[in-house]
Structure 1
Amino acid sequence: MDCILAIDQGSHASRALLFDTHGTVIARHEAGVEQYEPHPGWVELSPEQVLESVRTVIAKVLPQAAGQVRCAGLAVQRSTLVAWHRHSGEALAPALSWQDTRSRELLQAYASHERAIHEISGLPLSPHYLAGKMRWLMAHNQRVSQALAEGTLVMGPLAAYLARHLLEGQPLIVDHSNAARSLLFDLAQAQWSPALTGLFGIDPRVLPACVPTLEHHGLLEGTDIPLTCLCGDQNAAIHAGGEPLQDEALINLGTGAFVLCGVGRQPPAPDHLLGGIAWSTNKERRYLLEGTVNGVGSAIHWLQRQTETDILAGLPEWLDAVRDPPLFLNSIGGLGSPYWRQDIGARFVPDTDSVARRAVAVIESIAFLVQRNLAEMQPGRLGALRVSGGLSQLDGLCQRIADLSGLPVRRHEDPEATARGLAWLAAGRPNRWRHEPPERIFNPSAERDLKQRYEGFLQLLEKETGATD
C-alpha cells in the first residue's frame, strides 16, 4: 500500500510518521532536540543537531513502508532563524529560537513604523519574529557580518535551512507560511516586501525565494520521494481534521499555545492578532487568523525549575482539588497577543508557597490568555473549539477553556495533529481520509468563581500594561 511521509520538526523533538493513503498511522519515530539558554531571553538550537535529528527519524521510518512512499511533507517550528553559507550550507551561528527575544531593545528604533509593519505583514513589531534576529546577528556575529560583506550569506527560517540540506539540488526556498513569520513578508502579495526589507535594512539577496506551501519542492536526498508540502507546524496542525471550519478554532497547546481560525481567501486585518497563510498553491491561498500565548509548556517547565517538583504528574489531582488559586501574571516568554509586551515580570498575586496552588494558577493563566485571544476573534463567529497538543490531555484545562468561552471543546485522541494535518496537505487534501472523532467533548458550565478570577486577571493585566478591552 502506498504511504505518505510526514516530517514534523518541533521545539523539543523531530518526528517522522508514515500514513497510508486513508490517513492511518503505519510507523513513527522521534528524536529529541536540545535547546540552550545562555542568557536570559536567549534561546538557541544547534542547526546541525536539528538537521541530524530529522535525517535520523526519516531513516528510521522509511524501511517500515509497506509500499511506495508517494510523497512527503515537512512542517517546521516557525520564527526560528538560521544563518548559513550560501555555497557550503554551513551554519554560521546558532539557530535563534522563536522563543528568543534578544532583539527587544534593537526593535525599539522601529516603533514609529509599527502600524505600517502590521498592515503589510499581519504581525506586530515583536522580537519573536525574524527581522530583529537578523539585525542582531548582522551586528553581533562576526561570521555572519563577514559572509554578508562577501556576498555569501543566506538567512531564513529553519524550514529553509532544512529544505536546502534535505532536498536534491539544495534549493534556496521558503514557503509562504514560514516566510509570513518574519516581519519582512507582504501577506497580501505572498512575497518579500520591498518596503519592509528596506525598512529593516535586509538585503533581499540574502533571503530564500518565497514559494507556495503546496507544490513539488524537489526530491528528498537519496530518494525518489517528492516533497509536496513545506509549511509551519501550526499551519499543519489546523488541518488535522481536514479543511478548517470557519466557525471552529483550533487551540494547539504545546510549548506555547496557538489559537487558529481559518478566514478564507482574503488576508485578515486584525488589530491585535496575527494574520497568516493556512496553505497556498500557485493559483490560490487560504488565510488564518491567529493568537499566541507564549507561556504554556514553557511556563510549566519554569515552575518545575523553581519548585523542583514534577508539576505535570500532580496537575490532574490539583486541578480538581484546588478551589482558591492565586492569579498568575503569565509573562513567560513575554506576553503574546493581544498585548505584545516583553517588559512585564511573571509573578503570583497574591504569592503562595503552595506548589499545588501555584500550578493551578499557571494552568488557569493559560486558559485566561486563550480566552482573551478568543474574545478578539470577532465574538459570535465561533461555534466550537478543538484542542490538540500535549497539555490538551489535562481535563481541567480543557474544561476551564469551555467554561470561559461558553463553547464546547472537542479533544481528539490522536496526539499527532501536526503530522496528520501535514500528511493530508502533502497527499493533496484528499476527501477519503481518516478523521478521528472526538475522544471527549467538554461542554461549558457556569463556573462563577472561575469567571470572577478571569475578570481579576484582566484587571491585573490592564494595570500592568495600561491596556483596556
Structure 2
Amino acid sequence: MSGYLKQAKHILAIDIGTTSVRAACISNSLEINYLSSRPLALLRKAGGQVEQDGNEILQALDDVIQAVLERTEQTPQCAALAIQRSTVIAWNSRSGLALSPAISWQDVRTQSAIAALAKRSDAVKQVSGLVLSAHYGASKMAWLHKHLASQQCYIAPLVSFVLFHLLEGRPYICDESNACRTQLYDINKRCWSEQLCEIFELAITHLPLVKPTHGHFGLLKNTQLPLVCVCGDQNAAFQALWQSDTAVANLGTGAFLLSENTVHIKKTPLLQGISSSTAETTSRVLEGTVNGAGAALDWCHQQWQSQRSDAPSYKDFLRKLPEWLATIDRPPIFINTIGNLGSPWWQTGVSEKFIDEPQGTIHWPARAVAVLESISFLLYANICEFNAANPHKIKQLRCAGGLMQISGFAQCLADSLELPIAICQNAEATLLGLAVSCGFENTLNFETVIPQINTPLLTRRNAFIVALQQQISGLGLANGYSL
C-alpha cells in the first residue's frame, strides 16, 4: 500500500462507464459521502459502428469531479479511476483535441479485417489471452491509424486519452488492465508484444507507457490529489465482489464473469488477463463475456416499439418485467446473439431469433421473459467452462449491476445455473470496488438466493444450447463448445 493510502480516510472514486460517468467521495468504512453522475450518449450506426464523443466524456468527468469536491463534507486524500475497457480514440498529441470519436468496445466495424487474420488467432490468444475479435482495441487502433496516418496524433485506449487530460503534465500512459484489452499486450511478459503489433500492423513505439494498476500515476489537475489506482471497470467490481471458490458477474449493458486464475491455461474459450498489479505482482483472472445482457433487453423493447403502436415506454417495460417473469410460465426461447455471440462460442453472423413460439402468435411480454432467460442460459454456458478450466469448481456466483435490480431475475439465474446467487446489496459496486482495491476494508453486504428445482426452465436452457449449437453448425462455423 502506498504512503498516500496508509494515511487516507477518504478517496475520490471515479467510474467512466458506457452510459454514464460517476464520481464519489468514499470513506474507509465504504460509506459514500457524496455521489455525482452524468449520462453519456451512445451513437449506433450502420455496419456495427458504435461511438461516443470524447469531448462529452471529458466534460462529464470534469463536472462530476467538481461536484463531488465542492459538495462533499469530507476531504479525499487520493483518487482512483475505473473505466470502460476496449474503447479506443485518437487525439492530437500537442493540442489534446480529439481527432476521432471514441470507438466503443461494442463496435465491430473491423470484423472483415479480423476475419483476414483468422490464421493468426492461436498466436494472438496465446500471447494476449484474448480471442481474436473486433471487440478489442487492436483492430480499431489499426483502423484509426489507416484513416489518420497523416496527422500527428496518439491512438490508444480511452483511458490514455482521459489520463492525458486529467493529470498534470499530460502523460501518455495506460494501466496494465486496460493494456490487456487492446490485444497488443503480452500478459505473461507484462509488456507490449512485438509479435502482436506486427500482426495488427501497428508500431510498438507509438503505444503509451504501461504502468501497474496500483502506484502513483500523477496529480489530478487543479486538485493536487494523487491518482493511485487505474483499472478497467469490470476489474474494479471484481475486487469488491470476489471471494474464494466464486465467480463474479457484473450485469449491465453486457454481462462479464470473472474468477481468479493463478496459472496460464493453454486451451480454454475463456479470456485470460491481469486484474490488478503492482510493480512486483499481478492478480490474474479468467473471464467470460455475454454481449447481450442489458443490450438485449434494449433490443427487445426497440423491436416491440417498431412493430406495435401500443408498446410500453422503456420505463414501463422495465417496471413490468418482474410481473411478466413471475406469471408467464411458458415463454419461447430466444437465441441471444445481440452484440455478437461472446464466450464460449465467439461467433459472428449468427442471427438472433425466437423459437418455440405458437405459429402466427407474437406475445411481447413472453418474448421479454425469453430474453431475460437467455441471459441466464449464456451465463450457464460460461460457468461450465469455468469449471472445466479450473480444478476449484465454482460454488457461488456473486452478482452486481443493473439487471440484478429486476425482481425475480436472481431466482431465475440461480435456478438456471443451479448455483446460489449472492447479490451485492450496496449500490455502486464499481466505485466501491476501487476503494476496496485501494486497501479499504471490504464491508459489502450480500443477499443469497438459493436455487430451486425448476424443470421447465432447465428444459428450455438445454433446448437453447442445442438450438444455438445447431444454428452455428448450420452456418458452417467452427464450434469449440459442448455441453
Normalising to structure 2: TM-score of the pair?
Answer: 0.91
- Alpha-carbon distance, 1:37 to partner: 1.2
Match of 1:222 in 2: 222
Q: 1:161-216, CA deviations, whole angstroms, 9 ceiling, x for partnerless residues?
A: 10010000111110110011111110111211111001111011221111100010
- Alpha-carbon distance, 1:269 to partner: 4.0
1:354 and 2:360 are equivalent in the alignment: no
Match of 2:309 in 1: none
Match of 1:419 in 2: 431
Q: Find the aligned partners of 1:262 and 1:233 in 2 and give their Cα distance.
A: 16
- Alpha-carbon distance, 1:403 to partner: 1.3
Quickly say closer, same or farther: Cα 1:111–1:434, change in 2 above 3 A: closer
1:247 and 2:245 are equivalent in the alignment: yes
Any unmatched runs of 5+ in structure 2?
1-7, 306-311, 474-478
Which one of the candidate residues 368, 372, 389 is aligned to 2:377? Answer: 368
Does structure 1 retain, via aligned residues, the 8 Å contact 2:259–2:286? yes
- Alpha-carbon distance, 1:252 to partner: 0.6
Matched position secondary structure for 1:418: helix
Match of 1:258 in 2: 256
Q: Find the aligned partners of 1:355 and 1:377 in 2 and give their Cα distance.
A: 34
The equivalences for 1:94-243 within 5 A come to 94-139=101-146, 141=147, 144-147=148-151, 152-241=152-241
Q: Find the aligned partners of 1:268 and 1:413 in 2 and give their Cα distance.
A: 33
Which one of the candidate residues 336, 339, 350 is aligned to 1:333? Answer: 339
Matched position secondary structure for 1:216: strand
Match of 1:436 in 2: 444
Does structure 1 retain, via aligned residues, the 8 Å contact 2:69–2:75? no
Normalising to structure 1: TM-score of the pair?
Answer: 0.94
- Alpha-carbon distance, 1:75 to partner: 0.4
Q: Find the aligned partners of 2:273 and 2:367 in 1 and give their Cα distance.
A: 34
Matched position secondary structure for 2:46: coil
- Would you say how many aligned residue pairs link Structure 1 and Structure 2? 454
Q: Give me the identity figure in percent.
A: 38
Q: Find the aligned partners of 1:156 and 1:407 in 2 and give their Cα distance.
A: 39
Query: Greater shift after overlay, 370-379 or 64-73?
Result: 64-73
Matched position secondary structure for 2:329: coil
Matched position secondary structure for 2:457: helix
Matched position secondary structure for 1:22: coil
Match of 1:78 in 2: 85
Match of 2:292 in 1: 295
Which one of the candidate residues 19, 25, 40 is aligned to 2:26? Answer: 19
Q: Find the aligned partners of 1:353 and 1:248 in 2 and give their Cα distance.
A: 39
Q: Find the aligned partners of 1:59 and 1:267 in 2 and give their Cα distance.
A: 42
Matched position secondary structure for 2:112: helix
Does structure 1 retain, via aligned residues, the 8 Å contact 2:25–2:74? no
Q: Find the aligned partners of 1:13 and 1:65 in 2 and give their Cα distance.
A: 20
Quickly say closer, same or farther: Cα 1:11–1:270, change in 2 above 3 A: farther
Q: Find the aligned partners of 2:442 and 2:144 in 1 and give their Cα distance.
A: 44
Q: Find the aligned partners of 2:46 and 2:325 in 1 and give their Cα distance.
A: 33
Does structure 2 retain, via aligned residues, the 8 Å contact 1:267–1:288? no
- Alpha-carbon distance, 1:415 to partner: 1.9
Any unmatched runs of 5+ in structure 1?
none
1:323 and 2:329 are equivalent in the alignment: yes
